[in-house]
Amino acid sequence: MKYDLLKRGILAVLLIGLAFQVLGQQDSVTTKIPFLKEKSQWADSVFQTMSPEERIAQLIMIPVYSNRDRVHEDSIASLVERYKVGGLIFFQGGPGRQASMTNRYQKLSKVPLMISIDAEWGLGMRLDSTMSFPYQMALGGIEDESLIYEMGREIARQCKRIGVNINFAPVVDINNNANNPVIGFRSFGEDKENVTSKAMAYMEGMQDEHVLANAKHFPGHGDTNVDSHKGLPLISFSRERLENTELYPFRKLMKNGLGSVMVAHMSIPVLDDTPNLASTLSKPIVTDLLKGEIGYEGLVFTDALNMQGVAKFYPPGIVDVKALLAGNDMLLNTMDVKTTIEEVKKAISNGEITQEELDKRVKKVLQAKAWLGLDDWKPVEMENIFEDINSSKAKYLNRQLVEASMTLLRNKEEVLPIEDLADEKLAFVALGTDKETAFQRGLSRYVEADKIIVPKEASIEELQMIKELLEGYSKVIVGVHDLGLKASVKNFGITAEMNFFLKELIKEKPTIVAVFGNVYSLDKFEALDQADAVIAAYQESALTQDVASQIIFGGVGAKGKLPVAVNTTFGLGDGLSTEGGLRFAYVEPEAVGIANKDLDGIESLVNEAIQEEAIPGASVLVAKEGKVIYRKAFGYHTYRQEKAVDINDLYDLASVTKISTSLAALMQLKGEDRFDENQTLGTYLPMARGTNKENLVYKDILTHQAGLTSWIAFWKSTVRKNGSFKWFTFKNHQSKRFPIKVADSVYIHRNYADKIYKEIMKSPVSDEKKYVYSDLSFILAPKVVEAITGQDFVSYLKENIYDHLGASTLTFNPYKYYPEERIVPTEYDSLFRKQMLAGTVHDEGAAMLGGVSGHAGLFGDTNDLAKLMQLYLNAGTYAGETLIKGNTVSDFGECQFCPDNYRALGFDRPSKPGNPNGNSAASAPASSFGHTGFTGTYAWIDPENQLVYIFLSNRVHPTRENTKLYKLNTRTNVMEVVYQAMKK
């Protein structure tokens, strides 16, 4: 008896323990579902006010488009008002239009509507003027899943901003079928653990922002060969296979608080062998498996009920009630609301479903609405909606995601990142398109190279000609473009001609290939595994092309891992790493902790200068910590407003030439012990010997206290009293005696430069050692460099500095190399050259020297000038090359004779640190240095804050008498905006 009692006691304890275990299992599912954690009095009270028909309508979600006409909009309003449907799913349109329609419909609705959207990769999946984040296949290649969590939060924030409460994402289908026609790039990949962890991060990010996530397509759509939009896929796997693979991520997410799930339209005989019955309409699948066996209590949505996977078998209304009877909570894309309500009422009266069961689902919907904030609904604020959903912060997150996903699959002999630019002759090839690509433009930021377009339709003969054209290049960088995203597109759009061209090119040349398309397309290229480098970009967008170009030149590093096995060469988990930071990265300000909006003052200041006609236009660049965070162009080339300034346009740098040419060369020679600033001019320049310039110490020369005359108007001695040129000076046509172009139809005598040098040598020298800014020593600098090196000045700079930096636009006489429309005009010279100057130097002395001088004459764009300034900021090193050795740059950048003379060696320094009316930003430290230019240019670096700042304008247009830019202090005030942004 005691034994029986003991046995019964043990059994009771075991049963109680089992009960608690079962309850615990149930709690592990339900209590983590966010909207079921707490009861809602609002939900209960609203439920009590609803008629039977209104309760049925709460389970109905109808499709809406914000890009259709007023008739469509009004028809939806009628359904909302008349039938009181529970929610809407928005499809194509725009964010503002959708938000406006949402406000209208919410005001008409008795119970606030649940607003949903398919935004797997963000609102850009459905709406124009919105952001698209990477496809899930790309996200599957990311190792840092915190980025995916942040993406989930940001997508949720954007959804809420336009009034959306539920996003039908993430896709948790495991894509283990490369030929899947409907999932493919929408999946995180083929590895169930990777798919699950990525989906979890996405889900948690959204739900932490109170937007309901939705895992789809239950029980798993990843291994199908039929698109359920067009037919009914057949899944013939065993139950064991389904459990081990397809169901795995669903179960994991459900146990961790998944708010909703979408049931797919598939025939799965092992779960329900009813012929032609989609899983959406199957009670064994929805009720028995999903709600019963798995114990899922979140919201269950059907997939769209107008898809052919179900619609081809059942008419509207009938299909809806069948879905409800199967166990679904929400009917998605109900196409006949009236019939659906009538059919559900029939089902209740027939006993096919009880009122109690229906009410349970309605209460769950209302609970979810309360959690979504619909219990206190407020209209969407329409002001700034576009700006809010396209924030710089979100763009930077998008960039981080793309950078983290980009997958480097080959890197033969570590060809990437490309290092020694001076030794390379590169070609940028766009394969599969008929126009220049964003990839080519991105590559061109690092070095200008020939761009070649290879359309898909190119014949074999044309391809052969292009191959021959490429023979002279050291490396060819190929972007593969305009590929199909879906496996249903034959070979993803890769033609036999494209395949042949790339295969032959890889055989013959060192070739770097970036494929902008579905990663499975890699298998369709015959010789891709033989390329020197292969980058899988997963998709084609301006951002993926931008990032790929930065990986190639080391602006950013490669990090991604392949989330699927493409073939035996490119396998699951493959992915090589490279380091970034070799050259400039081009990023949003948030990358260095600055909010983009805090730089808005730059645009305001530049536009003010344009409106005041201080300048017709400008180009501005800011780099911090080796990252270009601001690069914009403003206004026009001239006040006629015919040509807008482009960020790649070249400006006359004026006196910025001094630090970009003369000083660059002298510092490099100093680092090589071939120049010493403590020596005299006569030490290096033979023509100075025996003159009053011979014993001038270079340290005094470079700090402008050697007593040299400020400047000499050389051109005035060439003009007669009647304004015509003296016969031995200029001619209006080129000849052997007058070969040097000064301006259009103005050519100077071949020996006139000697006269200029002699005039400098004869000029007086003051005995008083005080600061007097002078151009004269910089005019002589090219001769000094030539005397030291035996090489002409232009070649020396190009071969020893600019080519190494990829600073292609830093050039004298740009009219020889660039189209006129890319060169910004300067002054209309009414006295000397009597013409508008465009492509030839503004400074008269430099012009008379053939456009080549050490004090003026250099042209360039902001990007290339910034590379040179970054070289200085890096103490003479850039892209792994040391071009200026030792502490030369920092030594030259220091004040030499403070406090009497604030100048550095060749560089300008803050004349009044802290003063907003000085030559530098008020907040620029005393250690910063750079130079200004007469034409309205400015180049400055700040070693303490790792800043490079470039401002290029043509304030002398149309006349140098315009001094408004100085009075407005635009150049230094713009830099002050950056300092203030850094402090916030």
Instruction: Indicate which residues carry an active-site annotation.
Output: 229, 303
Which 8-state DSSP code applies to residue 712? -
* Alpha-carbon separation of residue 100 from 90, 110, 125, 161 (angstroms): 12, 18, 19, 12
The answer to whether 260 touches 302, Cβ cutoff 8 Å, is no
Contact residues for 831 (Cβ-Cβ < 8 A; gap 6+): none
Closest C-alpha among 640, 648, 633, 638 to residue 603: 633
Beta bridge partners of 708: 765
- Cβ burial of 836 (10 Å; 0-12, 13-18, 19+) is middle
- Strand 533-536 versus strand 407-411 pairing type: antiparallel
What gap in Å lies between CA 576 and CA 649, rounded to an integer? 36
Please report the sign of the dihedral spanned by the C-alpha atoms of residue 512, residue 517, residue 523, residue 524. negative
Beta bridge partners of 633: 619
The answer to whether 765 touches 692, Cβ cutoff 8 Å, is yes
Beta bridge partners of 927: none
For residue 669, give the H/E element and its range.
helix 663-671
Task: Extract the tokens encoding 925.
Answer: 């430290």
What gap in Å lies between CA 523 and CA 184, rounded to an integer? 14
Closest C-alpha among 451, 528, 465, 446 to residue 494: 528
The answer to whether 69 touches 42, Cβ cutoff 8 Å, is no
Q: Phi first, then psi: what are they for 847, rounded to 5°?
A: -60, -40
The length of the chain is 984
Contact residues for 305 (Cβ-Cβ < 8 A; gap 6+): 280, 311, 316, 319, 320, 323, 331, 332, 333, 334, 335
User: What is the three-class DSSP state of 717?
Assistant: helix
User: What is the three-class DSSP state of 746?
Assistant: strand
User: What is the three-class DSSP state of 239?
Assistant: helix
User: What is the three-class DSSP state of 904?
Assistant: coil
DSSP string, 263-283: E---B-TTT---TT--GGG-H
- Whether omega for the bond prior to residue 219 falls within 30 degrees of 0, making it cis, is yes
Q: Phi first, then psi: what are they for 313, rounded to 5°?
A: -105, -25
User: What is the three-class DSSP state of 338?
Assistant: helix
The answer to whether 649 touches 861, Cβ cutoff 8 Å, is yes
The answer to whether 403 touches 144, Cβ cutoff 8 Å, is no
Which 8-state DSSP code applies to residue 928? -
* Alpha-carbon separation of residue 765 from 515, 761, 774, 855, 918 (angstroms): 64, 10, 11, 19, 29
The answer to whether 788 touches 684, Cβ cutoff 8 Å, is yes
Strands (E), 516-605: 533-536, 585-586
Q: Phi first, then psi: what are they for 267, rounded to 5°?
A: -95, 120
User: What is the three-class DSSP state of 336?
Assistant: coil
Closest C-alpha among 220, 267, 268 to residue 246: 220
The answer to whether 916 touches 937, Cβ cutoff 8 Å, is no
The answer to whether 512 touches 531, Cβ cutoff 8 Å, is yes
Amino acid residing at 210: H
User: What is the three-class DSSP state of 784?
Assistant: helix
